[in-house]
A and B are shown apart, each in its own frame.
Chain A
Amino acid sequence: MSHPVSPEQEGQESAAALQRQIAENQRVIDQLNRALARKNEEVRIIQQISTEITSTLELEQIMETLLNAMEKVLGFQHVMILLKDHATEKLQVSACRGYAASAVGAEVAIGQGVIGVVAERKKMMRVGNIGVSVRYLMAVRENLQGAGQAGLAQAPAQLPGLPDAQSQLAMPLLVKDRLVGVLAVESPTPNAFDELDEMLLSIVASQAATAIENARMYRMVEQLSRLKRFFSPQLAEMIVAGGAEDPLRTHRREIIVVFLDLRGFTTFAELAEPEEVMGVLRDYHAEMGKLILEHEGTLERFTGDGMMIFFNDPVPIPNPAERALRMALSMRACVQGLSTRWRRRGHDLSLGIGIAQGYATIGAIGFEGRWDYGAIGTVTNLAARLCGEAKGDQILVSSRVASELEELIEAEEVGPLTLKGFYKPIFAAAVLSLKPNAAASD
């Protein structure tokens, strides 16, 4: 049914329609202007962020600057920077904004959740429907369990972040296709992020990745040069790469300590020419050094003819006592060879060795500018004293080591010995030889 319309009415209506159209046009123009202003402003901001984060090599400062910009300038309320831990192959929250401080340190396994999948695929992801999707899949999961296929399902991943996150935008931090970490923003609102956010974050992320990687590299080089003073280059690199804990951090561990020195060295050093003494020491150190490396011992220090070697630190190894013993036996045989040569030149030198086992506190000892890696504990004293007691060509082991190596060695009891620094007399054992079956496996 049609209604009769007067021309006047029609005129009013079209005027009103025109008004509406003008208002609508103005709205669109304003919107475009706002979008354009936002874009210009953002380009400026991104340049500023870039300048700031690349001007420092301090990792903490880089992340702080980044988070500040993300929060205050770009307006992201919940931001996380996760870095990949090369040792655990997991991501770890390294800095964040808009979360409890306890979020720092939380881990995400590669492949778990939005952030974990972004790390796995090295591609960004924007999701705006987490709540709905999770609810849907939980229903599917229930149905699977109802159909007796429960065994297939795993426990849902426990992830750091907002408990009610609806939207997430996560960017991989890549340096030449290698994953450094993930930069992620979240929101409790569905569809919170759009393509513009995606673009902004991807620019920030690529700059952040480079800055973070440079800072990490710088820190690594510093750490490496510090460690190389104490450890083999391989071990130092392994520690820096995260394959071993920093041994300079004080820690407690059960170790085997081997002490050795040359009988007759003091007399020899007094009587011989210094060049002769240095020559003997060079041969001796070279041979001993080779055997230490071969048996994976850690040389803690050497002073003239004396050496102290650890086993089981900084890297725990299997059968440390056995390795120590086999090294000691090789050293004894080696020095026997050397001393024949020395004797021809008129020097009477032979090797004495002491071995003990026990807990020690290990780490950096010293003061700024002169740190050393060392062990403190009765075990080092005992090994030193046993070495002092040992005659030429003798290997004295503590009763603890003797019982540990019972199956391997022929030994005879020595003692009781009264040792300096030990309240009670001590029994030890002198190692004669390896048992035939143990020798065969050597």
Chain B
Amino acid sequence: MGVLPDEIKPALQGVMPSHMATCSLAGEPNVTTVSQVYYVDSDHVALSFQFFSKTIKNIRENPYALAWLIHPGTLDTWDLEIVYDHSETSGPVFDAMDMQIEAIASMTGMKGIFKLKAADIYRVISASKTVGERLPLAEIDTAASAAQEK
């Protein structure tokens, strides 16, 4: 039994965007939106490396990051403490991500332009639902809010 519980899996399908917080070696934090954090196994997740970005630069010098995920079913938010382990440019994880990116790229006329450079594999240190950020789904009064608008 790994760090990632089964219930988090839907949050790793890219239905809702995730956020990724990193920090440079010089101590400058950075937050970006990532379209999908991929499930690898119960102890690992993967992120796609497409463009060279501040996140990639930070991770290569300081491997600790925090991924913030939204569960599309419960709408709970999760904090994942992760640490960059290695990059893969072949193998099943890379292939699965690459196929998905290629499929979507062809659907948007971006085949060959929007490409996966590598699958960055992270080890998950901890996974926890955020505390004090979200109301439980049952306590959200959407009906009242909708009525109020009308």
Given A128-B15, A129-B15, A190-B15, do A111 and B106 touch, yes or no (CB 8 Å)? yes
How far is the CB of A13 from the nearest CB of chain B, in Å? 19
Indicate if the CB atoms of A114 and B110 lie closer than 8 Å.
no
Contact among B15, B95, B109, B112 for A191, CB-based, below 8 A: B15
Binary per-residue interface labels of chain A (353-380) against chain B in the complex, 1 for a CB within 8 Å, 0 otherwise: 0000000000000000000000000000
Compute how far the CA of A116 lies from the CA of B100 in the bound complex, rounded to whole angstroms.
11
| 29 pairs from A and B in contact (CB 8 Å cutoff) | A117-B102, A117-B103, A117-B106, A121-B99, A123-B96, A125-B96, A125-B100, A127-B100, A127-B104, A128-B13, A128-B14, A129-B35, A132-B14, A132-B15, A132-B16, A133-B35, A133-B100, A133-B104, A134-B104, A136-B35, A153-B109, A153-B113, A154-B109, A154-B111, A157-B106, A159-B107, A190-B15, A191-B15, A194-B9
Question: Chain B residues with Cβ under 8 A from A138's Cβ?
Answer: 108
- Closest B residue to A156 by beta carbon equals B109
* B63 CB–A CB distance under 8 Å: no
* A100 CB–B CB distance under 8 Å: no
Question: Chain B residues with Cβ under 8 A from A111's Cβ?
Answer: 102, 106, 111
* A140 CB–B CB distance under 8 Å: yes
Interface centre among B17, B73, B102, B103 (most CB of A within 10 A): B103
Compute how far the CA of A138 lies from the CA of B16 in the bound complex, rounded to whole angstroms.
17
Interface centre among A112, A118, A133 (most CB of B within 10 A): A133
Question: Chain B residues with Cβ under 8 A from A134's Cβ?
Answer: 104, 107-108
Contact among A137, A153, A154 for B104, CB-based, below 8 A: A137
Question: Chain A residues with Cβ under 8 A from B102's Cβ?
Answer: 111, 117
Indicate if the CB atoms of A141 and B100 lie closer than 8 Å.
no
* A1 CB–B CB distance under 8 Å: no
* A179 CB–B CB distance under 8 Å: no
How far is the CB of A189 from the nearest CB of chain B, in Å? 10
Q: Which of B61-113 contact A (CB under 8 A)?
A: 72-73, 95-96, 99-100, 102-113
- Closest B residue to A144 by beta carbon equals B113
Compute how far the CA of A415 lies from the CA of B113 in the bound complex, rounded to whole angstroms.
69
* A155 CB–B CB distance under 8 Å: yes
* A392 CB–B CB distance under 8 Å: no
Q: A125-B100, A128-B14 are in contact. List 18 more A-B contacts (CB 8 A).
A: A111-B102, A112-B106, A112-B107, A116-B106, A123-B95, A129-B13, A132-B15, A132-B35, A134-B108, A137-B104, A137-B105, A141-B108, A141-B109, A152-B112, A153-B113, A154-B110, A156-B107, A190-B13
